[in-house]
């Protein structure tokens, strides 16, 4: 019987004890949990408490007949409890027949050991309760077991479960704690000069707003504070009316690695990190934007009041003078504000990467790299960095995070060999999310000699899962060049993934299990010679027959840039594919040369460009093979111009020593380990050893 619905049901798998519940009269009431406000609808039979007690007492008084002896074919005796007496009683009650005359039918009970599926080991379930019987209003505490959770975290879960945050202003204004939170938010915006109260001009419209309420908890479950955030409904903005451009640059990951490599090679450069609090609120608006005046807000210095007691607002609105959360142009305005502040302090904005600002004076060299509200500061003079921190703290509300250790998911650690970059935590979280932390590890990221087509296998029921995993693997490749080709290969199937494609994703995750400690080492005391390796796997894509370009660029002994990408057109020969790969690599070299010069680094020229195809090298050095090259686009001949200008020197390298092979194809396990060692991909365990 279901104690919540008081509904009888028939089951083959029932076990009871005569001396405890439910055979003692009225004892079932002691074991009932609080009934939710909304009780599931009863379909067949709903018994009263007295009727249930009478039925159970009748079974208890006839317990002498509840044990029967059955003889099987082998002559042995087996004692069975009449578990199915309950089913007979319940059938009698449902049909309306007298209980004492109810026939006792014995049904064979299965002796098979029941075992939950392996994929359900990480879930807490109620196998005996059907999903239909679970009510939406039932407390989570009645379903989820928290025995294995620490007491402090259990208190936190209980606090979250029992805390209700208001969804609307009318709910929040009834409680003093939320009124205080809204007043605190409004005072902060007023002190920042975010708006001015003014009548709405003729022909203008005011966009709406929304209050967001959240209760912040400490780790022990106690309440830290009640937070109210005023957000503009940016979805109501119209292009050309209250916003124009929204693009804002962010730091390129190649720039991050190059900056850290230069700092590691320079030995004496210090690395620190700062964060801006409420960064978007500092941006100055150029557009004329009006926001509806918040309910209960009477003006500067006035506390929030219920709408019925506050003075009428008429056509008064808030004219925004600075950015507010939710505006489409808020990130752009913040970046312009920060850029102008740094330029006034004497910094120069790099043309190679607009998020890089540099300053050189008698005190030394200082560089600032910006990613929205996070900053990496490095330089040769500690005094200049300290002066910059003081200036930024005076202009904005800054947080000094100390020495650089964790930036955008990248773990940065200084060792005796140099600076080690990895994403160990990110990889571990990815394995936990996919429940692959206990999987069997593999040595290579893809199956050897793999040839997958777009229609191989059966389409996935949920293709978004495949896309999410590949997207996370793309971000993981920031510090993992060893998986770049595998991620590029799997990205081709994002539009219509199948189970065969998902199988290779899990293959890659098993490889990450074996190499979660891996990262790149930016060597110390390294020179600034630039060496580039480029390669092409001709016609490797079985669907389009396009080639794959791969390159790796080293600054001294530090790997700072790499790529694995399918070419845009079909190459008619291996020489053409290699030639296109050389042109792509040459463009990256030109950009890196400009970036290094902004960092006051002057690499020796010419830069060496290694290729393992002799025909492609001949095409670069001489206008030969006209029949092979007459159809190639003019932009591909850019590498020939750089060779004539003395910027690049093409050199031959054997296929065995071609480091770019790692980015174009699946190599053997022994060759894989050899190439990783040459590229500087090591494990943190090796460094600590």
Q: Find out whether 181 and 215 touch, Cβ atoms under 8 Å.
A: no
pLDDT, mean of residues 328-341? 93
Which residue segments constitute the domains of the chain, with CATH numbers given? Answer: 27-119 (no CATH), 253-410 (3.30.70), 526-653 (3.30.420.10)
Q: What is the pLDDT of residue 261?
A: 94
Contact 371, 250 (CB under 8 A): yes
The whole-number pLDDT of residue 397 equals 87
Give 409-474 as a DSSP string.
Answer: TEEEEE-SSEEEEE-HHHHHHHHHHTT-TTSPP-SSSS-TT----TTSS-B-S-HHHHHHHHHHHH
- In this prediction, residues 497-503 reach a mean pLDDT of 93
pLDDT tens, residue by residue, 92-127: 444 444 444 445 555 666 777 777 776 666 555 544
Q: So what's the pLDDT on residue 191?
A: 87
pLDDT band at 64 (very low <50, low <70, confident <90, very high): very low
pLDDT of residue 105: 55
Task: Reply yes or no: is the peptide bond before residue 22 cis, omega within 30 of 0.
Answer: yes
113-122, 510-519, 520-529 — which is least confidently predicted? 113-122
Nearest alpha-carbon partner for 281 in 181, 207, 400, 185:
185
What is the mean pLDDT of the segment spanning 402-410? 90
Q: What phi and psi, each to the nearest 5 degrees, are found at residue 53? A: -65, -40
Q: Taking residues 5-32, report their average pLDDT.
A: 58
Structure tokens at 681: 């991909």
**Range in 73-87, 294-308, 341-355, 360-374 with the lowest mean pLDDT:** 73-87
As a three-state string, the secondary structure of 40-77 is: CCCCCCCCCHHHHHHHHHHHHHCHHHHEEEEECCCCCE
Contact 472, 512 (CB under 8 A): no
Separation between Cα atoms, residue 333 and residue 303, nearest integer Å: 29
User: Any idea what the Cα angle at residue 364 is, between residues 361 and 366, rounded to 5°?
Assistant: 95
| pLDDT of the residue at 144 | 53
Put the strands of the sheet holding 284-292 in their side by side order. 195-199, 316-322, 284-292
Peptide bond preceding 606: is omega within 30 degrees of 0, i.e. cis? Answer: yes
Q: Can you tell me the distance from the alpha carbon of 269 to that of 601, in angstroms, rounded to the nearest whole number? A: 13
Residue 69 predicted with pLDDT over 60? no
Kindly state the average pLDDT of the residues 259-285: 88
At 278, list the tokens.
């409420």
Q: Which residues are registered as beta bridge partners of 652?
A: 611
More confident residue, 58 or 191: 191
Q: How far apart are the first and last CA of the chain?
A: 63
Share of the chain above pLDDT 90, in %: 43
pTM above 0.95, yes or no: no
How far is 297 from 16, CA to CA, in rounded Å? 64
Contacts of 666 (CB under 8 A, 6+ apart): 444, 446, 447, 448, 449, 450, 485
In the sheet with 406-407, reading across from the earlier edge strand, the strands are 406-407, 410-414, 418-422, 518-523, 681-683
Does position 35 have pLDDT exceeding 90, yes or no? Answer: no
What are phi and psi for residue 156, nearest 5 degrees? -65, -45
Three-state secondary structure call for residue 370: strand
- Say if residue 414's pLDDT is above 80: yes
Quick check: 483 pLDDT over 90?
A: yes
pLDDT of residue 203: 87
Question: What is the DSSP pairing of strand 681-683 with strand 518-523?
Answer: antiparallel
Residue in the block written with tokens 């059907």: 130
Closest C-alpha among 442, 663, 636, 646 to residue 548: 663
Q: What is the biggest distance separating any 2 CA atoms in the chain, rounded to whole angstroms?
A: 107
Going 504 to 510 to 515 to 517, the CA torsion angle's sign is: positive
Which residues are CB-neighbours of 633 under 8 A, at least 6 positions away? Answer: none
Residues sharing a CB contact under 8 Å with residue 534, sequence separation 6 or more, in sequence order: 549, 550, 551, 578, 581, 582, 584, 585, 609, 610, 611, 660
Residue 416's pLDDT band (boundaries 50, 70, 90)? confident
Q: Are 272 and 404 in contact (CB under 8 A)?
A: yes
In this predicted structure, what is the pLDDT of residue 126? 47
User: Which one is predicted more confidently, 522 or 622?
Assistant: 522
pLDDT, one tens digit per residue, over 568-617 is 889 888 989 999 999 999 999 999 999 999 999 999 999 999 999 998 99
Question: And the tokens for 499?
Answer: 């189970």
pLDDT tens string 132-187 = 444 444 454 554 555 555 677 667 667 777 778 888 888 888 888 999 999 988 98
Confidence of residue 16 (pLDDT cuts 50, 70, 90): low
Instruction: Tell me the average pLDDT across 282-306.
Output: 85
Instruction: Look at residue 51 and tell me whether its pLDDT is greater than 70.
Output: no
Beta-carbon count within 10 A of 193 CB: 11
Q: Are 615 and 562 in contact (CB under 8 A)?
A: no
User: Which H helix or E strand runs over 283?
Assistant: none
Q: Find all residues with CB under 8 Å of 120, minimum gap 6, and list them.
A: none
């Amino acid at each position: 019987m279901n104690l919540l619905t008081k509904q009888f049901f028939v089951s083959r798998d029932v076990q009871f004890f005569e001396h405890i519940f439910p055979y003692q009269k009225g004892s079932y009431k002691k074991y009932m949990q609080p009934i939710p406000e909304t009780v599931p609808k009863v379909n067949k039979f709903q018994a009263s408490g007295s009727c249930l007690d009478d039925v159970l007492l009748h079974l208890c008084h006839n317990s002498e007949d509840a044990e029967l002896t059955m003889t099987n074919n082998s002559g042995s005796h087996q004692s069975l409890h009449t578990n199915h007496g309950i089913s007979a009683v319940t059938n009698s009650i449902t049909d309306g027949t007298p209980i004492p005359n109810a026939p006792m039918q014995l049904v064979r009970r299965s002796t098979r050991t029941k075992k939950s599926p392996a994929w359900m080991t990480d879930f807490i379930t109620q196998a005996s309760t059907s999903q239909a019987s679970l009510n939406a209003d039932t407390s989570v505490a009645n379903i989820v077991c928290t025995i294995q959770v620490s007491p402090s975290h259990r208190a936190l879960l209980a606090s979250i479960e029992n805390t209700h945050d208001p969804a609307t202003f009318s709910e929040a204004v009834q409680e003093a704690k939320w009124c205080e939170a809204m007043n605190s938010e409004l005072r902060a915006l007023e002190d920042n000069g975010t708006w001015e109260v003014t009548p709405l001009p003729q022909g203008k419209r005011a966009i709406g707003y929304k209050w967001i309420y959240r209760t912040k908890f400490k780790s022990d479950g106690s309440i830290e504070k009640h937070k109210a955030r005023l957000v503009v409904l940016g979805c109501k903005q119209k292009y050309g009316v209250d916003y124009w451009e929204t693009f804002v640059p962010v730091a390129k990951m190649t720039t991050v690695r190059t900056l850290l490599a230069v700092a590691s090679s320079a030995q004496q450069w210090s690395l620190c990190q700062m964060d801006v609090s409420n960064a978007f609120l500092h941006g100055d608006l150029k557009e004329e934007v009006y926001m509806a005046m918040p309910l209960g807000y009477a003006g500067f210095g006035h506390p929030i009041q219920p709408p019925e007691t506050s003075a009428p607002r008429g056509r008064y609105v808030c004219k925004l003078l600075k950015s507010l959360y939710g505006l489409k142009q808020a990130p752009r305005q913040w970046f312009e504000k920060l850029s102008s502040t740094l330029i006034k302090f004497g910094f120069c904005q790099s043309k190679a990467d607009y998020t890089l600002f540099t300053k050189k004076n008698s005190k030394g060299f200082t560089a600032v790299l910006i990613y929205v509200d996070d900053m990496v500061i490095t330089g040769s003079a500690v005094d200049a960095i300290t002066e910059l921190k003081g200036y930024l703290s005076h202009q904005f509300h800054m947080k000094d995070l100390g020495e650089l250790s964790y930036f955008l998911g990248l773990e940065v650690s200084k060792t005796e060999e140099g600076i080690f970059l990895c994403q160990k935590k990110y990889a571990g979280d990815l394995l936990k999310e996919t429940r692959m932390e206990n999987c069997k590890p593999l040595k290579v990221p893809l199956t050897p000699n793999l040839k997958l087509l777009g229609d191989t296998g059966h389409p996935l029921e949920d293709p978004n899962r495949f896309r999410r995993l590949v997207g996370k693997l793309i971000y993981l490749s920031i510090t993992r060049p060893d998986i770049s080709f595998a991620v590029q290969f799997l990205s081709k199937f994002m539009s219509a993934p199948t189970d065969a494609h998902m199988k290779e994703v899990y293959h890659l995750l098993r490889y990450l299990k074996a190499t979660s400690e891996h990262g790149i080492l930016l060597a110390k005391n390294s020179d600034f010679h630039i060496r580039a390796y480029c390669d092409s796997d001709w016609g490797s894509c079985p669907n389009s027959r396009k080639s794959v370009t791969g390159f790796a660029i080293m600054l001294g002994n530090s790997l700072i840039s790499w790529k694995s990408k399918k070419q845009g057109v079909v190459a008619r020969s291996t020489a053409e594919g290699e030639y296109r790969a050389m042109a792509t690599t040459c463009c990256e070299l030109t950009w890196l040369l400009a970036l290094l010069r902004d960092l006051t680094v002057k690499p020796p020229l010419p830069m060496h460009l290694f290729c393992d195809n002799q025909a492609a090298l001949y095409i670069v050095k001489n206008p030969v093979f006209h029949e092979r090259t007459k159809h190639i686009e003019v932009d591909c001949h850019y590498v020939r111009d750089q060779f004539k200008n003395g910027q690049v020197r093409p050199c031959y390298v054997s296929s065995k020593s071609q480091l770019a092979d790692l980015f174009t194809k699946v190599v053997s396990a022994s060759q894989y380990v050899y190439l990783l060692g040459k590229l500087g991909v090591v494990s943190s365990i090796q460094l600590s050893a």
